[in-house]
Structure 1
Amino acid sequence: MSVFTHAGNNFTLMRNVRGVYQLTALFFCFFLNFEGKAQNFSNTGKEFWVGYGTNSFFYTQDANLNKQEMVLYLSTGDKPAKVTVSVPGTSWSKAYTVPAHSAISTDPMPKNSAADNGADARLTGEGLFQKNIHIVSDVPIGVFVHTYGNFSSGGTTLLPVETYGYTYFSLNTSQDYTNSYSYFYVIASEDNTVVRITPSLATKGGRARNVPFDVTLKKGESYNVLGAQQAGTIGNDMSGSKIQSVPGTDGRCHPVAVFSGSSRTGICMLVFNDNSGGDFIMQQVFPANAWGTQYLTAPTSTTLSTGLLNKNRFRVFIKQLGTRVFRNGVALSGLQNNSYYEFESMVGENITATGPIMVAQLILSGLGCGSLGAGDPEMIFLSPIEQAINSVAFYSTSKEAIDKNYLTLVIPDNGLASLRIDGGTAYDSVYAHPGLAGYKVVIKALPLTPMQHTVASDSGFTGITYGLGRAESYGYNIGSYVNNLAAIPEIKPDNSNETYSYVCTKTPFHLSVKTIYQATAITLHFSRVTDIVPATDVTITNPVPSGTAVIKGKTYYIYDLPDSYTFTRGGEHVVPLSVTAPSIDNCSQSEILNITIPVHQGPGADFTAPSVCEGEEVTFNYVPKSPDAGFSQWLFGDGTSSKVLTPVKKYDDGGTYQVTVQVVRDYDGCWGDTTKPLVIKPAPDVAFQLPARICMPGGEATFTNSTTVPGNANAAISWRWQFGDDGMATTKQPVYRYAAARDYTVKLYAASAGCADSLSLPLPASVFANTPVPDFMLADTAFCSNGAAGFTDNSTYDKTLPATWAWQLGDGTTGTGSNVTKNYTQAGTYNVSMVITAGGCTAEAVRKPVRVYNPPRVDAGAEVIISAGEKALLKAVVNEADAKIAWSPADQLTGGNTLQPVATPMLDQLYYVTATGKAGCSSKDSVWVRVYNDIRVPNVFTPNGDGINDFWEIKGMQSYSRATLDVYNRYGQLVYRKTGGYGTPWNGTGTGGNLLPAGTYYYVLQPNANGYGKITGPVTIIR
């Protein structure tokens, strides 16, 4: 049991409901259904890189030269995969289609430029290599590498690019074989990658021990480091060499992959024994941030018997000096090369540490160091229990003289019941793990036939697979999570005082993060997490830990988040966590951690509730679904809630309400709920408008119905009206007639789908009004077309009410107002009508005929010219024979009431004649009588501007208004003309306004009056 300190109090590490102590999240199936693994990082992925590791056969000079082969095993889950294997920079590329739930072996990787389209992917020495192997798939797959040939083989599990890290340590075996090397190489997955390499010992290429050097790599390039050889068969063991990504020219660190191994080495090799020898080793190294603190080992089986266990060697690599390592609780001693402890064992071991460690399990050379049966060296990197999985697929083979294939698992006791190997429950051996109670070791002998195998359980397990033969072996980790283990989530549901390793859907919780770093800044990237509320990033600057926890000897700092969160969907959810701390050993002193939060489905519940009308009571009945959960509360969908088990509620408004019943489980605080729609049938929203005016008598009232059913524009509605005087109607828009004017109450009932409502409105007596009695008066009995006709309202109505009038005047024109004046231009009879509206009541139109007469047309005759003392006969005419005639002035006339009187004026006189016909319509005309005197024409004038005799003054011409005057020069040309009388005398200018020269001119004067003819003669202009 681990103890930690939190906020000044001591607590024991919380255990889950099954009694198993858990430090990390519960893991779900990630391999057989790749899409279901959320964002956990594992050995499955879509993109991988690997180098063709340095092999002793690259250097041999005998007939076995270049006899090794390197192949890939491609393993799928529940989806088929399209996979491309290529060597970028060359034309070598292979495409494969792998069916679901199966595995295939690829063609050998290219090793000969002439035979492989110019490609040779081998890492043949120390230095930079550009041709490495790239694997790309359209769906997540597992990839395993197998290199074999002439009693030499080795295998590894590949890790996808998303698991690549920034800091690595090379993990190797001892180096003991002729012309062979301990090695490691680094591959870049991105351009502009710079790695700093610090060899733990001198290298074949001349790099000094513990002297770092930087290498710049492009995407897909690798750098290979070979340990220098010592005397005889011994070479430098490169274990502990550090590989770290540092900033490139873009200022960023880029993730890389690292592989460790040996071109060939023996481990406790017996000399001159056919069953013992050296072997090729190549394993991909886990990044340092994925190392754990607890490993459960299990020795390999022998070829003699599944249950007969063999001796293995174990190396425990530490990340930091000062880390204490324990073997079954006893501290290890004898740290080698400042990087690893080493021991041999034939039993399962419980290896724990105060800091991150990595454990390598080594299979010895055949019969070496007391081992039994056939076999040869292999190195397998083990998974810590923190990275345990519960479902994998892997591949076994018989290539290169393999006699036995095995699977060895370490699994919790309670995982045995659900354990399935290749779909079955059979295995060959099981025994209690001697290092830790509660765990079992399971061994299964696998067929020699190359094939895919699957392992699944509801509990996490670790495992290795390996093949053994005479002087031959291969092996690798069957699969692992590769999560960053520098942070652990602590989950506390809001309605519980306990902490748990999981949370349930819809259960609000607070989150604490335990990290091995004493952080200066923390950012939780909730915006990258699906199905969480709120999905907002949280950054804490200079965070203060709320406490510390010592877990398996490792100190964790605890940082609490203030907000509450809720997951809406189950599954594994990964929250990316950015931590900045001085102790983080990379270029930015920052690290991206991924904390996994398992989200379980909460307990179940159900309920029943009838559909009722709005305003009616509905009873909710809780129906339990989970025996371990109790009722919590109701959420009625309208913002109200209740903690009564069987509540009764009224909804004021119709509609569909999402009703939720919530339950809570006592032992883990998990919420569960069921939400179902409850239809509250809406009653009609009754509305109508009263008539603004009801006119009496008649009392016709029109009601406007605007009732609706909310949410259903086409609902069928039935109606019932009550008008307040025992009258009723069932139509939507009724017209009703009231017999008397008084106060009434109008009520409308409306019903739809069994739901009804009503509305009553007062209809006051003031709405009623009497209709006017229309009438109008004429200003006269008849009118003249040249006069004005007047019409005056004479209706009977309540003068206190506003009134309007509409007149139709019989000729298409209209008028308004109580009095109207009209000028008719044509004689005839016109039907004039008037409509009056008073207080909103309109009377029927009243009509009256109007007679219009034209006045007589009278003509006074032509102008008369007489000499003084003469008589003039006035000759007027009229179109109506019976029209009355009147002349004025009448004092100089004889017969002033006749059409043709005789006038005797002494001077010019204008006479008027008036003719009066029917209806007194009259018209008037006038005529001039001119009285003429003698005309005296001078024969000379002097228009020189001296003011004397400048004009040609013709005496007596002022009486002759129709006179004309023409003046000609001596050539007979007209030079001046005057018509319409001689009102302005001539000044000697021509017709164009020019001055005429002095001389004699000839004139023709025509008075155009009785008694006068033409007057002609000369006139002289003197200037």
Structure 2
Amino acid sequence: NCVAERIKSITVNAAPKVQFLALRDTCLNINSFQLTQASEIGAVPGTGVYSGPGITNGSGIFSPTTAGVGTHILKYTFTSSNGCIDTASQSITVLPPPVADFTFSSPYCETRDIIFSDNSTASSGTITTWTWNFDDGSPVVIKKTSAPFPHIFTIAKTYNVTLTVTTTEGCSSAVFIKPITIHPLPVPDFSMSKTCLPNANAQFIDLSTIADGTQNQFTYLWNFGDPNSSTSNNTSTLKNPTHLYSALGPYNVSLQVTSNNGCAMEIIKTYNDIHPQPKANFTFSPASVCLGAPINFTDQSNGLDGSIQQYQWNFGDNTTSSQQNPSHTFNTAGTYNVKLFINNSQGCNSDTATKSVIVYPYPVVNAGPDKSVLEGGTITLEPTVTGNNLQYLWTPSQYLSNTTILNPVVTGVADITYTLTVTANGGCVASDQVVVKVLRFPKIPNTFTPNGDGINETWIIQNLETYPEARVQVFNRYGQLVFESKGYTKPWNGTMNGQSLPFGTYYYIIEPGNGRIPIKGYVTLIK
């Protein structure tokens, strides 16, 4: 057997021993981190390199974001300084982060609770922590429950509210930012007018404002606090409403103002500016008057909670007065409804006091024409009188049959002037006079002496001058008419046509009239 043999030296190097410990699950959105779980455990010198999804440059820096969600195999390769290699692999799971989300209730108003409700989701694990930041300087709020909760923003502005949620795997969401614009509250205010019963129609004027200047878009809800009003009449949605109160206050009037963003604010004011109606009243004297006499009116009004400022009198005859206690004279008889109302210092008008005033007319009295009556005869007075409820009184009472009747009978005894006084309704008195002249029997002389001695020159017939209708005729013995007169104001002087008549006896006929029969006789003319 042929044998050939060569001997060489072989160096056997130590093989590296790699250990790759298990990797914990990680979260997608965390920062890259250094892997340290793999190592050479045999003390063999050399260099280890990581590889796999999310590994760059073999340095062992793992980027979950680069790797992406899912389970990935990472490999660790160790090469000894002699070129000996050992490898090990481990899986790593990149978990998806939770997604933060939330909503909040409207309206969004300053100083009012706004309810925040979580809508966050987690596809892996369970959310355990909610971290809220309201961007208003208040402390960060960390909650362990997803239950809705309130938050109050004290100042109207826009806030960037953030939410971060964390799961049981320790994964935190991206910061979720949602802006919320907090609106100002209205500042409600109003004014109330002074008003008076019985028709207390109160005017309410809106004075509300808001910081953003949108008061022209307000809506209103008034409650007038009036228990005497129906429900429909006790409220209003007008800007400047009125309300009719039927009784004195106070009333609690409320105004709720709502802005165009739904922010509402209410104010309540006490309305106590309703005033009672003053009471007008008056007296007058005398109780009734005769035409032309003044009536004095005396105010008895009560201004109640205000002093009386004005008086308004209406006398019912198209005349008025503003005096407190006027005097008035009516120009026509009749019944007048005199009215008074007043105004007090609260600006309230009273009711109207009305009282009837009777102005009586004077009776119209005409005692009639002057009368003549034969001596010893009688005559009836014939006055003309008009009026109501008349009473009569004749004075003096001499020679009258009755002094209290309209047509008394007068006996002719002496000339006299009678006064008729008539009293009518209201004691109104008027009077007139009538003269009654007594016609005495004529005294006829049977002689006279027209001889120029100045004595007994004319035929004077006493009492005949009182007979205005008397007719005197004188005849001579031949029946010739030598004298005639109507009335006997100028006595016969014994002439005819201006010529003296001779001595003799003459025949006369005297017709006095006024009911006396003619008187016949003789008169002797002596010279």
Bigger radius of gyration among the two: 2
**TM tier, shorter chain?**
0.3 to 0.5
Q: Give the structure-1-normalised TM-score.
A: 0.21
Q: Give the structure-2-normalised TM-score.
A: 0.37
